[in-house]
Structure 1
């Protein structure tokens, strides 16, 4: 696996982050389905994560 390969991960609050591809994911995070270079993953997050509030806060308002 290339050292510059990353995956986008999502937690149960629908927050997104990136993680090194092939590395064990931390508890509570699952693959979102996007992979690529660090920048490609960050660009994807910028595109799709437009409301940065956690899901529980969005649902409460």
Structure 2
């Protein structure tokens, strides 16, 4: 990936994120998180919802 600056005199520079991403992946694997599977977005709950309640299905138009 190449990074460009707003400054016209500044040259572009290469951005290599391989090393930090490998460290993040290793930390997640040590924590038991399978990084080969997508993460599901959390279900948003209202403050009064019981945690045992299933989320209600969306109504048409919502």
TM range (shorter): under 0.3
Q: Which has the higher strand share?
A: 1
TM-score (norm 2): 0.26
Q: Which has the higher helix share?
A: 1
TM-score (norm 1): 0.26
Greater RCO structure (CA 8 Å; 6+ sep): 1
Please identify the structure whose Cα radius of gyration is greater.
Answer: 2
